Chain A
Amino acid sequence: MKAFAQLVQQVGSSTKTNEKLQALLQYFQTADDADKVWTIAIFSGRRPRRFVNTRMLTDCCIELTQTPAWLFEECYHTVGDLAETIALLATQKNTAAIPEALPSLSQLIASFISLQKADEETRKAFILHHWQQMDFDACFVFNKLITGGFRIGVSQQTMVNALQKATGIDASVLAHRISGNWDPSNTSFAELVLSGDTTADSSKPYPFYLAYPLATEPETLGPIADWQAEWKWDGIRGQVIVRDALYIWSRGEELLTDHLPEFHGWEKSLPAGTVLDGEIVALLPDANSIPEHIGPFAQLQTRINRKIVSKKLLQQSPVGFIAYDLLEWKSEDIRQTPLSERRALLEQLLQEHPLPGLFISPVVTADDWTSLTEQRRYSRDQKAEGLMLKRCNSVYQTGRKIGDWWKWKIEPLTIDAVMIYAQKGHGRRSNLYTDYTFAVRDGDKLVSFTKAYSGLTDKEFAEVDAFVKKHAIEKFGPVRTVKPELVFEIAFEGIAASNRHKSGVALRFPRINRWRKDKPATEINTLDDLKQLLQQYGNSSSK
């Protein structure tokens, strides 16, 4: 685990992709096979079930370091990362740390797994024992392994590239091999990476092909006849796999099959050996066509997080699938077939096997770019965020690749609001007030309606941070109430009615568009302005 901790340190502190790649490559060339498998698992978002919750970790640290609970909280809010806060506090006295004596990564994780059934005292003793032998780097990684969420600045793509260099196997093949439902405890490096024997795993999804945002005029793409346009749906990208059984994967490589009972049974209608790429979307009850029966994204969000879906919820918030690509057909991987041919097969397939809740994403036709640009203006009426442009002869690539697929989004909606609360951020925004709550005016009151975390430059964040530190009203706890003075333009992709928010609306992907230094807080938008947007663009059925 020393080598892994070092890898995390190198990858986490480097700002250059090439250095990260080199560090990963060196690790893959020297590490033990079992450790390599776990490293791949961890950097692709897989981890063992937690054997302790964060509460218990916190308590262990408080007990070991004799830190008052409130002070631990203050530290945590300042650092913005629990694993790091604990590592900073718990290893202060370990000047004689002996990292050589630490178990290997795979041994450590084997211990984690066996501890899942152990009693509380045993688990606690295990944690305390390890903390006391570790330096900061090791302790940080140890805690991260326990809590999960290994976001340390290495993309799956970088890892796959390093594996390609280490093994000589093509990156897109590797991306496919390491996807899906394999168990790192029972998979050897040879099976997983070298031979790809786990393709016997029938749940395995294909790596998604992702589009780049179009930053130029569409005319630069050449003749429109070379392109297929579709609406860009506002849902969750997903893959429906029908082989020996039904599997549904999200783009985040989460297996969602259990969350989507309305899709169950599709494996009986669709021929085995079929894989669809498309969008999981919220539907209105008794939906039978799109786009008019597409529901708001917020509804999907509340649905998808529940593993147990009650009958009532199933009726109120149904979910559907809009297919736009066919990746496997008659058990054959057809990703290298041109899009136009895949599309024809997809149309034929869905025509022969109609299913409730399964739709095909219609092609948007236009004679020239001008008329397509005109149609794009009405995206919101189609419950879409804009258009997708796909080259007709494009193959289905792996990951985010420039050139053949573009997302062409419409301008966001905007509203001017005043900041009323601020909270310190996480990660690289540690100890800076970067998470804000905004309000609009309602008579002489202010009504909070959204939070936003992004959209300002580092310099602007520093300026707002200084304002908050100077004008904060409370002194403890994470949230600071500030004088309602700073005005920002908030941009968002959609708006829906919501009874969970004081303002009665929920926004889709809100972020800060710009700081309106030119505008006093007396001139911000009102709650009525928001309600008008809701009426115009919102989906009235989502209560």
Chain B
Amino acid sequence: MSLIQFTDKGLYCPAGDFYIDPWRPVQRAVITHAHSDHARWGSARYLSHHLSKGMLRQRLGQDIALQTIGWEEPLRIHDVELTLFPAGHIVGSSMVRVAAHGETWLITGDYKLEDDGLSTAWQPVACTHMVTECTFGLPIYQWQPQQQVYNEMCTWVAQNQQQQCTSVFYAYSLGKAQRIQRALAATGLRIWLHGAIANANEALQADGIVLPECHRITADTSKADCEGQIVIAPPSAAGSSWLKKAGRYRDANCSGWMQVRGNKRRNNSDAGFVLCDHADWPSLLQAVQLCGAEKVYSTHGFTDSFSRYLREEKNTWSEAVQTQYGGEEDAIETTGGAA
């Protein structure tokens, strides 16, 4: 019997009787990270990293039965040894290593290799079986070093300020929004946050994460407060009347999807920055190589292309698996591209 099975509820480990990021309610759910396509409501018990605690409680309910552990602290569940390793995707995001009967499986959840200074840096984990995401599993997706993107963002903000415009960034409230806050702290401008993002900030800060000083936009915030400064809002705020608070503004999307002109144009924003919390094509290949798996399962994204490439060009056994990941922050359209 395989150590990990792909079932209609999600990835299941029969020997330990637990699921990893299940999409239906189960008895015991191990959660890689707090994005809603991975952390779903309704399971009896949850297990995750310490740093996911605040966000999971905020999103799934304060009263959930939640056990948290640290990275590289093996946990015995029946016959199985379970260990979390940093995935570098967002704060608290973890890869799950499951070992038993001579097999070692690594379930990556979402990950990136570049250290964003916020999420704890990704590290390779030796395994025999790897279940990897490949949201950006095509060679057209290759990211510039983040500092270069940050510089471009700061230049854009400075231009807007010169023209007395507010700079509005659309970003997914958990992860991308905090990364942008850190990148833009260098501008010295005031950073205003939409309520959803301010909530996420508070949950993270309660877990000990240090973030730059930001301000919550409330009913009392006036246009004059925001004008010429920076506003960070979820993509759903785009074009809404809420943005009146920003005064005269220019807006930008920050996402891996911005790599392609058509996606950028579709968003109808003034700018698009290729800033991504997922591994790009070379990183995916590098991760597979560094972890040394014999068998690689690809879950969400360009799975068929990625697996075929591994088989034909890298001589690695690989297969695409249908999952229900890749909803929330990976969706190209509905979120305005916050991946």
Q: Interface residues, chain A, CB within 8 Å of chain B?
A: 12-15, 65, 67-68, 70-71, 74-75, 78-81, 84-85, 88-89, 92, 140, 153, 426-432, 458, 461-462, 465-466, 475-476
Contacts and interface: CB of A to CB of B under 8 A. Distances in A.
Contact of A12 (B139, B261, B268, B302): B261
A89 B141 CA distance: 9
B255 to A, nearest CB: 12
A65 B138 CA distance: 13
Contacts, number: 87
Contacts of A78: 138, 140, 260, 302
A81 B54 CA distance: 44
Interface in B286-324: 302, 304-305, 308-309, 312-313, 320
B264 A13 contact: yes
B39 to A, nearest CB: 21
A430 B302 contact: no
B266 A65 contact: no
Contact of B271 (A13, A65, A68): A13
A89 B270 contact: no
Contact of B262 (A67, A68, A426, A458): A426
Contact of A429 (B138, B266, B331): B266
A79 B270 contact: no
The listed residue with most A CB atoms (<10 A of its CB), out of B140, B308, B331, B334, is B140
Nearest to B332: A431
Size category, B interface? 20 to 34
B265 interface: yes
Nearest to B334: A462
Contacts of A15: 265, 268-270
Nearest to B303: A475
A79 B139 CA distance: 11
A75 B262 contact: no
Contacts of A89: 139-140
24 contacts: A13-B265, A74-B305, A79-B140, A81-B262, A84-B261, A88-B260, A89-B139, A428-B265, A428-B266, A429-B266, A430-B260, A430-B261, A431-B262, A431-B332, A432-B266, A432-B332, A458-B266, A458-B333, A462-B332, A462-B333, A462-B334, A466-B331, A476-B305, A476-B308
Nearest to B333: A462
Interface in B249-295: 257, 259-266, 268-272
B142 interface: yes
A14 B333 CA distance: 20
Contact of B304 (A14, A427, A461, A475): A475
A15 B302 CA distance: 30
B304 A476 contact: yes
A153 B139 contact: no
A13 B264 CA distance: 8
Contacts of B313: 68
The listed residue with most A CB atoms (<10 A of its CB), out of B260, B264, B312, B332, is B260
The listed residue with most A CB atoms (<10 A of its CB), out of B139, B259, B268, B312, is B139
Contacts of A428: 262-263, 265-266
B86 to A, nearest CB: 27
A96 to B, nearest CB: 13
Given A75-B140, A78-B140, A89-B139, A68 B312 contact: yes
A458 B271 CA distance: 19
The listed residue with most A CB atoms (<10 A of its CB), out of B142, B261, B266, B313, is B261
A84 B320 CA distance: 27
Contacts of A462: 332-334
Interface string B205-230: 00000000000000000000000000
Contacts of B270: 14-15
Closest 7 pairs between A and B when the two form their complex, measured CB to CB: A430-B262, A462-B333, A428-B265, A475-B304, A88-B140, A428-B266, A428-B262
A65 B304 contact: no
Contacts of B268: 15
B135 to A, nearest CB: 12
A478 to B, nearest CB: 13
A465 B262 contact: no
Contact of A465 (B263, B264, B333): B333
A432 B266 CA distance: 11
Contact of A84 (B260, B266, B272, B332): B260
Contacts of A475: 304, 320
Interface string B119-159: 00000000000000000001110100000000000000000
B64 to A, nearest CB: 29
A83 to B, nearest CB: 10
B184 to A, nearest CB: 21
Nearest to B313: A68
Contacts of A65: 139
A15 B267 CA distance: 10
Contacts of A466: 331
A454 B305 CA distance: 28
A78 B320 CA distance: 18
Contacts of A71: 138-139, 305, 308-309
A426 B261 CA distance: 10
B260 A67 contact: no
Contacts of B309: 68, 71
Interface string B325-339: 000000111100000
B260 A431 contact: yes
A427 B260 CA distance: 9
Interface in B75-100: none
The listed residue with most A CB atoms (<10 A of its CB), out of B142, B304, B305, is B305
A475 B298 CA distance: 14
Contacts of B265: 12-13, 15, 153, 427-428
A81 B261 contact: yes
B279 to A, nearest CB: 15
B140 A85 contact: yes
Contacts of A14: 270
Contacts of B142: 88, 92
Nearest to B270: A15
Given A74-B305, A476-B305, 4 more contacts: A15-B268, A92-B139, A465-B333, A466-B331
A476 B138 CA distance: 13
Nearest to A13: B264
A466 B300 CA distance: 13
A113 B262 CA distance: 30
Contact of B333 (A68, A70, A432): A432
B248 to A, nearest CB: 13
Contacts of A13: 261, 264-265, 271-272
B339 to A, nearest CB: 12
Contacts of B308: 70-71, 476
Nearest to A72: B139
A452 to B, nearest CB: 19
A181 B308 CA distance: 50
Contacts of B261: 12-13, 81, 84, 140, 430
Contacts of B272: 13
Contact of B139 (A75, A427, A458): A75
Contact of A430 (B263, B305, B312, B331): B263
A78 B135 CA distance: 13
A427 B266 CA distance: 9
The listed residue with most A CB atoms (<10 A of its CB), out of B271, B272, B308, B333, is B333
A429 B140 contact: no
A140 B257 CA distance: 17
A319 to B, nearest CB: 37
Given A68-B309, A79-B260, A476-B304, A74 B138 contact: yes
A449 B146 CA distance: 49
Contacts of A79: 140, 260, 262
